[in-house]
Each structure stands twice: as structure tokens, then as C-alpha cells.
């Protein structure tokens, strides 16, 4: 009976050890991951997310994320076509498309990808002058995305987005650019002031000329109006004199002689035909004064 009992205990222990061994071989691959199963250090198969079994001791499981990964490439220096030094930094998003290539084709696929991107960026900016590079960030992003394209596929990686965050010239160049910018602004301000003063002089001169022209026109119009009025009065005077009878002028002549006789200079010599015309003078003056009123 003791032998049988020992046998059952032994079998039970064996079963327990097998169960423990089996349980130790269970692995869980999370969502959006894949597993690389290695047998005695050699790649065996790729398993998807879920519960998988591997043989403990003989096999191991490496988990590789397929999710989108952000990466920031620290600042580094690049020389432009005109030998100016600028500092740049990038950010990118990548994901693993082939876990086997990502893990086995390179000792560090991410670092290799970064070096590839840096090399292409140096080539792109190295063919540009400083001012062109500083003003062409969008174009540089487009060229960089096109350049790296499918090249990172050898690492099992796909770069979804790459962006040049900043391009900064060296401090010495930045100071020179600031001075140039200040000089350009001062030049623009001086030109604007000069143009403003010239425009002000132009407007003032034009206003004075317009005023002189308006005054001249007004004076000319006043003279013309006065001349028209005088002509009108003369015409009316002539009409009145033409309508007056000879008796009226004789009476006016007698009044004129009376006034001359009362004055200190009372000697008047006239032809007999001009005596009657003498009366037209006070009559004309009287009519002229009435026309003014």
C-alpha cells in the first residue's frame, strides 16, 4: 500500500509540475502589439494580439508595439549653401509596419531612422541659402517627407509625419540680421516721412494755387458783372436822354446858367448850338444817380 501511495504522490507531483510548466508558457500579447517568438534564441514565428503559448525555457516572446509613436529629434547644426550655420530641431510620428525587420534587421532601427532623416535634412538645407531656408519651412517639410519616403521600410518603420519645428541662425548671424532689420525699418520710416512731407507740400501748393485761381476767377467775374451793370446803366441813360424833350433840356440849361452865375467863376463861352446841350449834363448825372439807387 505504501508503494501505491508513493506512486500516486509521484504522479501527482509530475502532473502538478506539468501544469505549472504549461501555465508558465501562457503569454498575453496586448492589443496593437505583435509577438516575436524565438526558439533557443532563433526567430520562430510571429503571433498576433491575444493569449499565446510558448515553451518555457526553450522559447521566449518579444512584444513589439504597432501604435503610432512620437519622437523629437534634438537640436543639431546644419551649414547652408552660403556657409551660414543654423540650428534645427524636428518632431515626427512613426509606426512599426514589420516587427521582424524592426527587431532583427537593425540593432537600433529608431536611431537608424533618425540618422537617415538628419542626413536628408542636411542635404536639403545644404542646397539652400540662409534666407531661402529660413523662409521655406513648409517646402523643406515636403521635400523631407518625399525624400525619406519608403527608405525607412528597410527598418520596418513608416514615418507618418515629419516637421521641422524651428530653424535658428547662429547668435552672430542673428545679431547681424537684427541690425539689418532695424536699418531696413529706419530706411522705410525715413522714406515714408519724406513722402509724407512731399505730399503735404504738394497738397499745400495745390491748395494755394487753387485759392489764387479761385480768387482771380472771382475778381474777373466781379469786374465782368460791374462792367455789365455799367453798360446797362449807360444804355438806360441813353434811352432816358433820347426820350427827354428839348424843353426839358432848355430848363436844365437855365438852371445850369443860374448855378454858374452864382459861383466865383461865372464866365462861360459857348456856341449858340451848344447852349441847349449844356442842359444834358445835369440831366444825365441825375438819371445816372437814380440808376445806381
59-85 tens-digit pLDDT: 999 999 999 999 998 888 888 888 888
Domains of the chain, each with CATH number or no CATH: 2-65 (no CATH), 69-174 (3.30.479.30), 229-292 (no CATH)
Of 40-49, 61-70, 105-114, 248-257, the range with the lowest mean pLDDT is 248-257
93 backbone dihedrals φ, ψ, rounded to 5°:
-125, 130
User: For the whole model, what pTM was predicted?
Assistant: 0.55
pLDDT at 81: 87
Of 164-168, 174-178, 193-197, the range with the lowest mean pLDDT is 174-178
pLDDT at 33: 94
Q: Share the mean pLDDT of the chain.
A: 78
The number of angstroms, rounded, from the C-alpha of 40 to the middle of its chain's C-alpha atoms is 65
Q: How confident is the model at residue 46 (pLDDT cuts 50, 70, 90)?
A: very high
Amino acid at each position: 500500500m505504501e508503494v501505491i501511495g508513493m506512486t500516486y504522490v509521484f504522479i501527482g507531483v509530475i502532473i502538478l509540475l506539468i501544469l505549472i510548466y504549461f501555465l508558465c508558457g501562457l503569454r498575453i500579447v496586448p492589443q496593437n502589439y505583435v509577438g516575436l517568438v524565438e526558439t533557443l534564441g532563433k526567430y520562430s514565428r510571429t503571433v498576433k494580439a491575444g493569449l499565446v503559448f510558448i515553451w518555457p525555457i526553450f522559447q521566449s516572446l518579444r512584444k513589439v508595439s504597432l501604435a503610432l509613436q512620437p519622437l523629437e529629434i534634438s537640436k543639431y547644426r546644419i551649414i547652408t549653401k552660403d556657409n551660414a550655420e543654423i540650428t534645427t530641431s524636428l518632431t515626427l510620428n512613426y509606426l512599426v509596419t514589420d516587427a521582424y525587420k524592426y527587431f532583427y534587421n537593425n540593432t537600433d532601427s529608431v536611431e537608424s531612422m533618425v540618422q537617415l532623416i538628419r542626413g536628408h535634412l542636411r542635404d536639403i538645407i545644404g542646397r539652400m541659402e540662409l534666407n531661402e531656408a529660413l523662409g521655406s519651412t513648409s517646402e523643406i517639410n515636403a521635400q523631407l517627407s518625399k525624400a525619406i519616403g519608403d527608405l525607412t521600410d528597410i527598418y520596418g518603420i513608416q514615418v507618418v509625419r515629419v516637421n521641422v519645428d524651428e530653424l535658428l541662425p547662429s547668435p552672430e548671424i542673428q545679431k547681424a540680421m537684427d541690425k539689418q532689420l532695424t536699418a531696413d525699418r529706419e530706411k522705410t520710416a525715413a522714406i515714408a516721412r519724406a513722402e509724407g512731407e512731399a505730399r503735404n507740400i504738394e497738397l499745400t501748393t495745390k491748395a494755394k494755387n487753387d485759392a489764387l485761381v479761385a480768387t482771380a476767377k472771382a475778381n474777373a467775374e466781379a469786374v465782368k458783372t460791374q462792367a455789365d451793370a455799367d453798360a446797362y446803366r449807360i444804355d438806360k441813360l441813353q434811352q432816358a436822354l433820347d426820350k427827354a424833350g428839348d424843353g426839358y433840356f432848355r430848363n436844365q440849361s437855365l438852371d445850369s446858367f443860374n448855378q454858374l452865375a452864382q459861383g466865383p467863376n461865372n464866365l462861360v463861352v459857348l456856341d449858340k448850338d451848344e447852349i441847349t446841350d449844356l442842359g444834358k449834363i445835369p440831366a444825365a448825372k441825375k438819371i445816372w444817380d437814380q440808376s445806381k439807387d
